[in-house]
Amino acid sequence: MTTASPAWRAGGDGHPARGHAIQAALGPAAPATASAAASPSAAGHAGLAPDNQAEPLIRQSADGAAPAGQRAADGPPSPVARPGQRTPRVATPILLASLVLLIAVIVGVAVGPAGLTLPQVAAALATKLPWHPHVAVSPLNAAIVWELRMPRVVLGVLVGCMLAGGGAAYQGIFRNPLADPYLLGVAAGGGLGATIVVVSGGSQALLPLAAFVGAAGAVTLTYLLGSSSGQAGESEAARSGTGSILLAGIAVAALLTAVQTYLQEQHTATLATVYSWILGGLSAATWSDVWLILPYVAVSAVALLVHRRLLDVLRVGETEATSLGVNVRRLRLLVVMAATLGVSAAVAVSGLIGFVGIIVPHAVRLTVGPSYRTLLPVSMIGGAAFLVLADVAARTVQAPDEVPIGVITALAGAPFFLFVLRSRRARQDLS
């Protein structure tokens, strides 16, 4: 068998320079100052690292991480498929993930500082069922289960689903494994919106709306700036589009963060409030929050899911996807719009919860493979389960005090993320 020449490019997903990437991705783990509002989007800076459309010569010499695919192609071809190389069917992973989510939801409803027993929780749950059996339930227990725990768990499901699904979709559409849902300015815009409400002494009820408008507005601004500058490039318009959109995302995030930092400095008394919003959390969850974001999340999730086959086509690059019949610009616009809608809604009620959008899709990618038709739905379900469990940890490890959920996701996420990176490299070295 011949070996592949370097002229054959390999690698559908970008391989950004790793050191930089880790550093950037760790951004949201430790927002040491209040101005770290934009740090979740710092992972987006890593997103600018190579799109891997560069000349192979450059990739070989300058980017040590890049030739993985080439190395792979150079390896001895095995006559039969190795275990784990087959793309698993879609249904089984989705069923398994749903089972995990069910367990997470049960744990989420059953565990809490009030120390209710399982039968008490079950009885409280039963009171709202139609034709429920007559059981004696104290109003307090029913309220704990139905008004405190349930909305929290359900909101965790919606937010986790959106953050992980948005992250997976962004990783696909920008063909970069380190893209996260805050990539195009959602974090900075949401942070600024929330800060404006807090420092101006506006009603807390306005906070979700302001965060949503800020987040969605930032992405719109990014997209308008990025795609209009992209049209100037006459060669391969599709390719230049991604780069300029990511660049515009960085510029917009930097601008909004600067404004937000300035506002904070002018109103230091409200620093703690802004900071706690930035860390994110589900502690104030109510049913009205759930009903508020449910339509957005539902529309967004469905819109992302219908594009999962096209995200797979995009794995061969924007140029080839175009020649295969995909309108890449339209695809990108629709996916970004869908993700922004859902993620902005999630941010509006939960603040900036870091890491879910990166670690969940990667963990899922490692387990079920890189095809978006499995990856996207399983990421959504897995993200929901992860956030519900993280929230359980957030309200129990230091009960009755709560640890900010962003701290939990980062504490669990950072080591895990390093593990994912290491095992990715290990796998590539082996093959």
Partner 1 sequence: MIGFTELTVSYGHTRALDAVSGAAADGEWLGVIGPNGAGKTTLLNALVRLVTYDGTVTVCGQPAGRLSRRELARLIAYVPQRPLLPPDMTVSDYVLLGRTAHIGYFGFETGTDRRICADILERLDLAAMSRRTLRAMSGGELQRLVLARALAQEAPVLLLDEPTSALDLGRRMEALELVDDLRRERGLTVLSAIHDLTLAGQFADRLMLLAAGQIVVTGPPATVLDGSLLARHFGAGIQVLATDTGDLAIISRRLR
Token pair in block for residue 82: 């190795």
- C-beta of 400: minimal distance to partner 1 in Å? 47
Amino acid type, 173: I
Nearer to partner 1, 36 or 375 (CB): 375
If binding is defined by CB under 8 A, does position 266 make contact with partner 1? no
Location of structure tokens 């408008």: 213
User: Closest distance between partner 1 and the C-beta of residue 317, in Å?
Assistant: 4
Residue 423: partners with Cβ closer than 8 Å, 6 or more residues away: 366
Q: Does residue number 56 form part of the binding site for partner 1 (CB under 8 A)? A: yes
Question: Which of 200, 323, 398, 423 touches partner 1 (CB under 8 A)?
Answer: 323
- Check binding of 294 to partner 1 (CB under 8 A): no
For the beta carbon of residue 94, count every other beta carbon within 10 angstroms: 16
**Which listed residue (83, 130, 139, 325) binds partner 1 by CB under 8 A?**
325
In the bound state with partner 1, the residue whose beta carbon lies nearer, of 3 and 138, is 3
- In the 3-class helix/strand/coil scheme, how is 263-305 assigned residue by residue? HHHHCHHHHHHHHHHHHCCCCCCCHHHHHHHHHHHHHHHHHHH
Would you say the C-alpha torsion 22, 28, 30, 32 has a positive or negative sign? positive
**Residue 82 lies near partner 1 (rule: CB under 8 A):** yes
- Tell me: does residue 122 bind partner 1 (CB under 8 A): no
- Positions in 159-188 near partner 1 (CB under 8 A): none
Segment interacting with partner 1, rule: CB under 8 A, options 6-14, 23-31, 124-132, 404-412:
6-14
Q: Does 243 bind partner 1 (CB under 8 A)?
A: no
* Candidate ranges 68-76, 197-205, 290-298, 348-356; the one touching partner 1 (CB under 8 A): 68-76
Q: How far apart are CA 6 and CA 411, in angstroms?
A: 40
Q: For the window 326-345, what string marks contact with partner 1 as x by the rule CB under 8 A?
A: xx------------------
For 427, residues 6+ apart whose C-beta sits below 8 A from its C-beta are none
Asked if residue 32 binds partner 1 (CB under 8 A), the reply is no
Identify the CA nearest to 173 among candidates 223, 131, 212: 223
> Residues in the chain, how many?
431
Q: How many CB atoms lie within 10 A of CB 373?
A: 15
Smallest gap from Cβ 376 to partner 1, in A, equals 13
Site residues for partner 1, 361-400, by CB under 8 A, read 369-371, 373
Indicate whether 319 belongs to the interface with partner 1 (CB under 8 A): yes
Question: Which of residues 61 and 327 has its CB atom nearest to partner 1 in the complex?
Answer: 327
Single-letter code of the amino acid located at 18: R
**Residue-by-residue DSSP string for 174-217:** TT-TT--TTTTTHHHHHHHHHHHHHHTT--GGGHHHHHHHHHHH
Nearer to partner 1 among residue 151 and residue 165 (C-beta): 165
- Residue from 143, 306, 397, 426 touching partner 1 (CB under 8 A): that is 306
By C-beta, is 73 or 142 nearer to partner 1? 73
Does 69 participate in binding partner 1 (rule CB under 8 A)? yes
Among residues 294, 315, 393, 412, which is the contact residue for partner 1, using CB under 8 A? Answer: 315
CB of 75 or CB of 295, closer to partner 1 = 75
Among 126, 142, 225, 316, indicate the residue that binds partner 1 (CB under 8 A). 316
Q: Judged by CB under 8 A, which of 236, 287, 288, 423 binds partner 1?
A: 236
- Minimum distance from residue 316 beta carbon to partner 1 (Å): 5
Distance CA 376, CA 40 (A): 21
* Residue 11 within binding range of partner 1, rule CB under 8 A: yes
Shorter beta-carbon distance to partner 1: residue 132 or 427? 427
Is residue 67 part of the contact set for partner 1 (CB under 8 A)?
A: no
The reply to whether 228 sits near partner 1 by the rule CB under 8 A is no
| CB 426 to partner 1: min, Å | 14
CB atoms within 10 A of CB 145: 24
Residue-wise DSSP of 19-82: HHHHHHHTGGG---SGGGGGHHHHHHHHTTS--S-S-HHHHHHH-TTTTHHHHHHHSPPPSSPP
CB of 247 closer than 8 Å to CB of 48: yes
CA distance 157 to 285: 12
Q: How far is CA 102 from the centre of its chain?
A: 21
Among 335, 336, 328, 330, smallest CA distance to 238 is for 328
Interacting residues with partner 1 (CB under 8 A): 1-5, 7-13, 52-53, 56, 68-69, 72-73, 75, 77-78, 80-82, 85-87, 234-237, 306, 309-310, 312-313, 315-317, 319-327, 369-371, 373, 428, 431
